[in-house]
Amino acid sequence: MPETWKQPFQLGVKAFRESKHEDAIKHFTRSIELDNTNASVYDSRAAAYQCVSKLREALADTRRCISLQPDRYVGYYRSARIFLAMPKYDRCLQMVSEARRRMNASDASYIRKTQELDEMEATARRGLQAAETHRRNHVDLLKKLPLELLVDICKIAVDTSDGEAGPRGASYFVLTLGSVCRSLRDLVHRTPSFWQSVSFSEKRFARKSAFWLDRLDGHPLYSVALIGIGRHMIPQVLEFLSRTDPDGWRHLRIEGDTVDAHALHKALQGFAFSLYSFALVCPLSDDEPLVSPHTFYVSNALASLNPIPETSEPTTCTRSIILHVGTICPNFAALANVTHLDLGMARLTSSQYDMLDQILYAAPKLRSLIIKPQNLTRNMPSYTLEEIPQLEDPGSFCVEQLEILRLGTIGPVPNHLFAFPNLQVLDLQSLPRLSVTTMFRYLLEGRTQQTCPPIRELRLNLIVLDSTTFKLALEAFSLTLESLEVSNCGVLNDDIMDCLSRPVPGTRDLALCPRLRDINFSGTGELTAGPLVRLIKAHLPSSNADNPNPPTPVRNLIIDNCPGINADALPWMRANVTGILSCVYKTKTEAKGRRRDRFL
């Protein structure tokens, strides 16, 4: 006689009554395999799952039970019990209500079922009340403030985001505030000053602009980003923007096709701006000529910026210009008020040879300078080995506030004398050998480890540098360096790797660069696994147990396109690197044959 669903179901009921819940689940599962259309079996297995605290599996069975018999009480009752255990009190109350609607007053167990539902409902309501009390205890300090004062406090926080965070910082503050609790979210929705940052594209522009005008309630916009706006949309965009008080804008960003973005910027020049930051980003497409017919004048961006007040602290005000366009006509004479400058272009209308020189002299308040042409392969400089001139005292001109310097594919660095006492990030990409060596002389010559700039991030990519100069740089930046990238350079010889892993004399067994935690040695064909293993070991806590200030463990290690790395060492590296280990080879064939830690 063939087995039916009733036999394992009865065994499951017996095991459940004996509190053998795991055995009961097995029997109920077997019963479902024989017949998956019986709602009672699903309800019974859900009860067993709940007893072993497998609430998600139990909830799945109750849903199946309800789908098989949507008019029966049992599936909703069981769901209510599970939601109460989760605890999801609001869903529990919904299921209790649905169960009451399906009860039969003529049922002999009607009174008992009603009492059980009443008890569950009371427990769920007490849970909701406790959760609400707990939430109110965290926000009562804010709710006791008058609404006008709370709005003023939050608006001050938004306005002070004009510092390093910029407009994104203001938007992030509003989103964070609105996600604290429902009352603060309602406050954000009702406060026009919290809706002063907006990003528009062509998609649903009319609907979004009307919604934003309603939220602003006559207040000006603070930050505006116009992404991919075509020329046919310019009249509609101007009509909306004219109603948002452009005099009060502080951040403006335009992105899109070269022709459309330049046309939109030209149309916006009719407004009297007083900006803190201006960005124009026009990525070059593959079929676009290298020399763009639309030349952008730096003076146009400078005219839109609000001057920095004379009484302000040097690091509290931000004036930023970002230009990623085809052709730039430089006019660096008016850069005195700029603190952040980011230039990415296909070409300049003037020579590149004196561009960095002019910028550093013309912008004494610069804190961040990025010059990286968009098309690296078509602007690749030739690596020449010119004779390096002898420099005098590097402190002749001090760029005191500069903290971030990123250079790529520009003409030679000038031989004029500069000093960067507060530089923290140095990124050099695809520069001639003379420029790289000159830059390191600016930083190193005549200085000790205590007087060198506090470099915490050093990135070198596609450059030529002798190992002696690089070793001196590592020793000079040893106390502050946290992130190091040396990719496609050929400077990582055995001596350099030994310096990074062996203890420095007189430092209680501390290795060079003890705070180093992010490493990128991609594209280094001569690199092998042995020196890397020693470097990671030198930063392990076990190697420095007696040191009160042990070095920082390696967090991220990127060694892509390094064919000399033995695949057998990758599992050990992965186990001892706290973050990301990336070791990708050039081709899929090499990756398949060499990389062994893909499943770790």
SS3 for 523-551, per residue?
Answer: CCCCCCHHHHHHHHHHCCHHHHCCCCCCC
In CATH, the number for domain 6-141 is: 1.25.40.10
DSSP 3-state percent helix, strand, coil across the chain (nearest 5)? 45, 15, 40
User: Two tokens at 129?
Assistant: 């009340």
Answer with the residue of higher pLDDT: 251 or 546.
251
Q: Residue 427: beta bridge partners? A: 406, 459
Output the pLDDT for position 17.
92
341 in Cβ contact with 363 (< 8 Å): yes
**Maximum average pLDDT range among 200-209, 343-352, 505-514:** 200-209
Answer with the residue of higher pLDDT: 415 or 207.
207
Q: Tell me whether strands 404-408 and 368-371 are parallel, antiparallel or unpaired.
A: parallel
What is the average per-residue pLDDT within 345-365?
A: 71
Q: Residue 295: beta bridge partners? A: 327
Min mean pLDDT across 77-91, 97-111, 462-476, 508-522 is at 508-522
Answer with the residue of higher pLDDT: 408 or 141.
408
Q: How confident is the model at residue 411 (pLDDT cuts 50, 70, 90)?
A: low
Output the pLDDT for position 164.
43
Res 521 pLDDT > 90: yes
Output the pLDDT for position 394.
42
The per-residue pLDDT of the chain, averaged, comes to: 79
Residue 581 has phi, psi (to 5 degrees) of: -120, 120
Res 435 pLDDT > 80: no
Residue 442 to residue 572: CA distance in whole angstroms: 40
Output the pLDDT for position 373.
75
Task: Return the amino acid letter for 554.
Answer: V
Q: How confident is the model at residue 549 (pLDDT cuts 50, 70, 90)?
A: low
Least Cα distance to 529 among 577, 573, 588 occurs for: 573
What is the average per-residue pLDDT within 240-252?
A: 84
Cβ contacts of residue 32 below 8 Å, gap of 6+? 5, 38, 41, 42, 45
Helix (H, G, I), strand (E, B) or coil at 370: strand
Q: How does pLDDT run across 76-110, given as a tens digit for each residue?
A: 999 999 999 988 899 999 999 999 998 888 888 88
Tokens 């001196």 appear where? Answer: 472
Cβ contacts of residue 127 below 8 Å, gap of 6+? 84, 87, 89
User: Two tokens at 310?
Assistant: 């004379």
Q: For the chain, what are the domain ranges?
A: 6-141, 147-188, 482-600
Output the pLDDT for position 165.
45
Q: Rounded to the nearest 5 degrees, what angle is found at the Cα of 234, between the Cα atoms of 232 and 239?
A: 130
Q: Rounded to the nearest 5 degrees, what angle is found at the Cα of 499, between the Cα atoms of 495 and 504?
A: 145
CA distances from 380 to 327, 383, 563 (A): 17, 9, 25
Answer with the residue of higher pLDDT: 171 or 13.
13
DSSP 503: B
Q: How confident is the model at residue 142 (pLDDT cuts 50, 70, 90)?
A: low
**Maximum average pLDDT range among 14-18, 161-165, 210-214:** 14-18
User: Two tokens at 341?
Assistant: 């400058």
Output the pLDDT for position 137.
63
Answer with the residue of higher pLDDT: 483 or 317.
483
Q: How does pLDDT run across 36-91, given as a tens digit for each residue?
A: 888 999 999 999 999 998 999 999 999 999 999 988 888 999 999 999 998 889 99
Answer with the residue of higher pLDDT: 195 or 204.
204
Answer with the residue of higher pLDDT: 554 or 431.
554
4 in Cβ contact with 23 (< 8 Å): no
Output the pLDDT for position 392.
45
Q: Residue 408: beta bridge partners? A: 429
Q: Count Cβ atoms within 10 A of the Cβ of residue 502 and give its class: 0-12 exposed, 13-18 middle, 19 or more buried.
A: middle
What is the average per-residue pLDDT within 565-570?
A: 87
Output the pLDDT for position 374.
62
User: Two tokens at 59?
Assistant: 């909830």
Res 486 pLDDT > 90: yes
User: Two tokens at 408?
Assistant: 């790529």
Output the pLDDT for position 563.
85
Res 124 pLDDT > 90: yes
213 in Cβ contact with 241 (< 8 Å): no
Res 557 pLDDT > 90: yes
